[in-house]
Every structure is written in structure tokens, then in C-alpha cells.
Structure 1
Amino acid sequence: MSAYPSLAPFVMKRPWLRNMLKPVANWYSNAAGYRQLGLRADDLILEEDEQVLKALKRLPPQEAYDRVYRLRRAVQCSVTAKILPKEQWTKPEEDTPYLKPLIEQLKAEEKEKEDLDSLTIIKNH
């Protein structure tokens, strides 16, 4: 994951800013091209991080199958240098996070475990 802070929470708390930036975000997502290959944004998360691998193991079976299908279909498109027909592109409303919430949950669990492991008990006499 990224080591730099995200502006997303700041933007999401301000509806006027979110409404102003949403068309730009949609344009960027479409320009990035992953939707034309039938992918969702979370499909692009690299599987090199231990937390990502753990999150993938927590995916419901259908979601895991759908992810593998989308990735294989995108690889096939890449190999043949073609994009999917427009009706098979990922629609913006379908491009919802499914892996990031699990990664955030794992990070929170890890932080809680670290906090508990470093807990110091002081006895009062």
C-alpha cells in the first residue's frame, strides 16, 4: 500500500468538494483504461504485500472467483491487444472497493495486537 497520506477522508467529509472532484475522478478512472478491460480498481492492488495476501484469503469464495476471472480476462485482452466490448466494461457504480476494506481491517487488527503486546501493567500497592 502507499506510504503517503490520503486526501480521500478530507474530500469525503466535504460534499461540495466531493461533487466538484467526482467528474474528474470518473474521467481519470476511464482514462486509466482498467475499466475497459473489465477490471475494478481493487483488482490493481499488487499481491506482494503480506496484508494483501491475507486479505485475499478473507474474500468470500464468489468474490475471489470473480477477481480471478476479471484478471484472467484482462490478461487475455492484453495478450491479444484488444479491449472488451463496451457493454462488458466495468461501470463506475460497479467499481466498488472489495479488497481495501479488508486490508484496512487487517491493519487495524495488527495495530491492536501491537498495542496489546506492548501494554504495560502497573501494580499499585
Structure 2
Amino acid sequence: MSYPSLAPFVMKRPWLQKIFKPLSNWYANTAGYRQLGLRADDLIIEENEETILALQRLPPQASYDRVYRLRRAIQCSLRHKLLPKEEWTKPEEDVPYLTPLIEKIRAQEKEKADLDAMTIVKNH
């Protein structure tokens, strides 16, 4: 399921970027996932079909890194401690790696549905 986003609108306007960029960084830091060494895409729920397919398409190193980050975050959560500040995920490291694959899978599914719904009309 896709949610509407204002991101493209904001990204096209530099004056809005100046307002929302610090606000978005503050929100991401307040969410707490960066203090556990996670990235935003690590928080995507794995129980839908598109995410499962995207995880299968990840390169081996990216998949290994994801599992490592998740296990380390679970360990921190069980100990009720955060990572040392130097191990926190930095904003420049928090780039989407799973979202592009999910979007590609959605586009492929839409194309397949469009092709399956296509009707061929013969002209005599």
C-alpha cells in the first residue's frame, strides 16, 4: 500500500528544504532507531509480499549488513542500552536501500497487471 508523500514537492523548493530538513533530522534522531545503529529501511515490515521479494533481491553484502544491524539493535534493546555515540547511524549513512527495490517490484506488478488486462482487437 502506498501513502501520499509531500517529499517531491518539498525537494523542488529550496526554501522549504531549509525549513523541513532540520525538522526531519530532528524527528529521525528522536525516533531512536539511529541510536541503535539502524537505518530507516530496516524498520519496514517484512510480512508483505513486496518486501519479501525485495529482501530476496538484495545483494548478499547488503543482506548481511541488514541482519547484523537488526541483531545488534535487538541486543541493545535486551540490555536496555544504546550504542556508543560513534556507532550511531549518521544521517548521511541513512540512505534507502530497500525502498527502491520495493518500488521497482510494485512497478513490475503494475505492468504485469496492465498487460494481463489488455484486450486485443482484430481489425479485418
TM-score by length of 1: 0.95
Query: Alpha-carbon deviation of 1:9?
Result: 1.7
What residue ranges of structure 2 are gaps of 5+ in the alignment? none
Q: Which amino acid aligns with 1:75?
A: I
Q: Does 1:109 align with 2:108?
A: yes
Determine the structure 1 residue equivalent to 2:120. Answer: 121
Determine the structure 2 residue equivalent to 1:15. Answer: 14
1:6-36 C-alpha deviation (Å, 9 max, x unpaired): 1112212222212220000000000111000
What RMSD, in angstroms, separates the aligned Cα atoms of the two structures? 1.0
TM-score by length of 2: 0.96
Aligned-partner SS, 1:84: coil
Structure 2 distance, partners of 1:64, 1:103, is 15
Structure 2 distance, partners of 1:78, 1:47, is 19
Structure 1 distance, partners of 2:35, 2:100, is 24
What residue ranges of structure 1 are gaps of 5+ in the alignment? none
**In percent, how many aligned pairs have the same letter?**
73
Runs of 4+ in 1 over 6 A off after TM superposition: none
Structure 1 distance, partners of 2:107, 2:41, is 19
Aligned-partner SS, 2:121: coil
Determine the structure 2 residue equivalent to 1:99. Answer: 98
Determine the structure 2 residue equivalent to 1:57. Answer: 56
1:59-105 C-alpha deviation (Å, 9 max, x unpaired): 00000000000000000000000000000000000000000000000
Structure 1 distance, partners of 2:82, 2:16, is 33
What is the aligned length?
A: 124
Structure 2 distance, partners of 1:14, 1:58, is 34
